[in-house]
Structure 1
Amino acid sequence: MLDTEWPDSWRAAFRIELRAGAIGLAWRGWPVIPGTYPDSETSAAAGAPGEPPNGPWVKPAPAHGDWQRRLGAHPQQVAAWWTGRPYSLLVATGVTVDAVEVDDHVGRRAAVLLRATGQPAPIVAMPNGRWLFLTGVADRLPTALAETEGIEWHGEGSWIPLPPTPFQHGVVHWRVKPDVWGWRLPRAEVVHDVLVRACGSSPTAPVGADTHPALSAGTSAA
């Protein structure tokens, strides 16, 4: 996270990395929005316009109450947002990208199954032990996942943090970067199917004949 004891040069480099990441995603058409960050509590306490209510900072949330109106901002606008403050890097879901959030146990199993296909999906790991599997936009989450404790679907009206967003105890990072996937997002139903199997399989379970060949065909996010 943005440790207040970091040298100013490190903090400046971190802000530059956040800004560069936000601009890069915006150019690819991802709906980037500014998120809260550790030092933003002071602004919230002071009642800065658009800031969320003050409280203990644990993980990022949209920094502005009107974040949904900011979706689709031009990369130049995104660059301006990140020029003044080290906002966390959030992406709204349900527009270009969805994500399924799982615990570490399911995340590791699903990652093994996806690797076995030779076409891994973009995967994000958060410092709180949770994983995010990025997909194309879906209409719903399968019942088998929706009824499983600890699984959360980020669709319309939600958001996810992307690297290098800080949390209370660490920084969000990629397990599988989007460029490995060629910046294409796998069809949601394909990843959902893998996650369903991961909820009931062993970490070394082989991928059988029921593996979806469609996993190699992604939905363009560029």
Structure 2
Amino acid sequence: MLDTVWPDSWRAAFRIELRAEAIGLAWRGWPVIPGTYPDAEPGAAAQSATSMWTRPTPAHDDWESRIGAHPQQVAAWWTGRPYSLLVATGTLVDAIEVDDQLGRRAAVLLRATGQPAPIVALPNGRWLFLTVSANGVPRTLSDAEGIEWHGEGSWVPLPPTPFRHGVVHWRVKPEVWGWKLPSAEVVHDVLVRALEGEPHPHALRQVLPVEPSAA
């Protein structure tokens, strides 16, 4: 885990950034909740936990009751101890988690349609496509191996949450699109097309016949 070898001043700055991001998202109405942090507690037990760290989970058993907390409460949670930044899914936001290959194909197709979507990259090579909440996903996606829908009762990490080998970051920031989440149907459709192997837009243009120029 990167954080274990950072100087104390860097660790402090990193945790301040996590707190600031959590407060900012809470002010925008995003259901942020505290997540576990790899070296949150001192001692040998914490070192053992850090060595097994993979990804964060909610730091409190009653995390679902904390959804929708006021930004002031969020600020209090992140004061005095480090937490990862999680957002609960199923109320305002959902997420579709896919592998790197499918994520790249879907991002290209999504860009080609002109439909924006915030996209999160995880250090383990997974991608998260954020959408407004929905009741489910198409069966093509739910039955596909390696695709996970995060809806009601789940959560996803947001930047700059630490993982064992890196930090969560934005591939497409929500502010780029005015903090507007795309409809789930649009993103689901793009992911289905990417999963079924729809050609890359540039490749498609290369195989289409070229109209002869006018004499």
Give TM class, smaller chain: 0.7 to 0.9
Distance in 2 between the 1:112 and 1:207 partners? Answer: 11
Q: Which has the larger radius of gyration?
A: 2
Matches within 5 A, 1:198-213: 198-201=194-197, 204-205=200-201
| 8 Å Cα contact 1:113-1:207 kept in structure 2 | no
For structure 2, list consecutive stretches of 5 or more residues without a partner in the other structure.
Answer: 205-215
Q: CA deviation at 1:57?
A: 1.8
Q: CA deviation at 1:158?
A: 0.1
| 8 Å Cα contact 2:115-2:182 kept in structure 1 | no
Stretch of structure 1 that moved more, 20-29 or 195-204: 195-204
State the partner residue of 2:15: 15
| 8 Å Cα contact 2:34-2:60 kept in structure 1 | yes
State the partner residue of 2:162: 166
Distance in 2 between the 1:14 and 1:54 partners? Answer: 17
State the partner residue of 2:132: 136
Q: CA deviation at 1:41?
A: 5.7
For structure 1, list consecutive stretches of 5 or more residues without a partner in the other structure.
Answer: 47-52, 209-222
| 8 Å Cα contact 2:96-2:147 kept in structure 1 | yes
Cα gap change, 1:35 to 1:2, in 2 (>3 Å): farther
Q: CA deviation at 1:12?
A: 1.0
Q: CA deviation at 1:102?
A: 0.3
1:30 aligns with 2:26: no
Distance in 1 between the 2:50 and 2:38 partners? Answer: 11
Distance in 2 between the 1:114 and 1:54 partners? Answer: 37
SS in 1 for 2:129: strand
State the partner residue of 1:148: 144
Q: CA deviation at 1:86?
A: 1.6
SS in 1 for 2:39: helix
Distance in 1 between the 2:60 and 2:88 partners? Answer: 13
Q: CA deviation at 1:87?
A: 0.3
Q: CA deviation at 1:181?
A: 1.6
Deviations 1:92-112 (A, max 9, x none): 000100000000010000000
Distance in 2 between the 1:127 and 1:61 partners? Answer: 16
AA matched with 1:134: L
- CA-atom RMSD in angstroms: 2.3
AA matched with 2:12: A
| 8 Å Cα contact 1:41-1:54 kept in structure 2 | no
| TM score, norm. by length of structure 1 | 0.85
1:179 aligns with 2:175: yes
Distance in 2 between the 1:167 and 1:6 partners? Answer: 14
Matches within 5 A, 1:1-222: 1=1, 3-40=3-40, 42=42, 56-201=52-197, 204-205=200-201
Cα gap change, 1:62 to 1:55, in 2 (>3 Å): farther
Q: CA deviation at 1:2?
A: 5.1
- Sequence identity (%): 77
Distance in 1 between the 2:200 and 2:4 partners? Answer: 42
Cα gap change, 1:177 to 1:54, in 2 (>3 Å): closer
Distance in 1 between the 2:141 and 2:115 partners? Answer: 22
SS in 2 for 1:84: coil
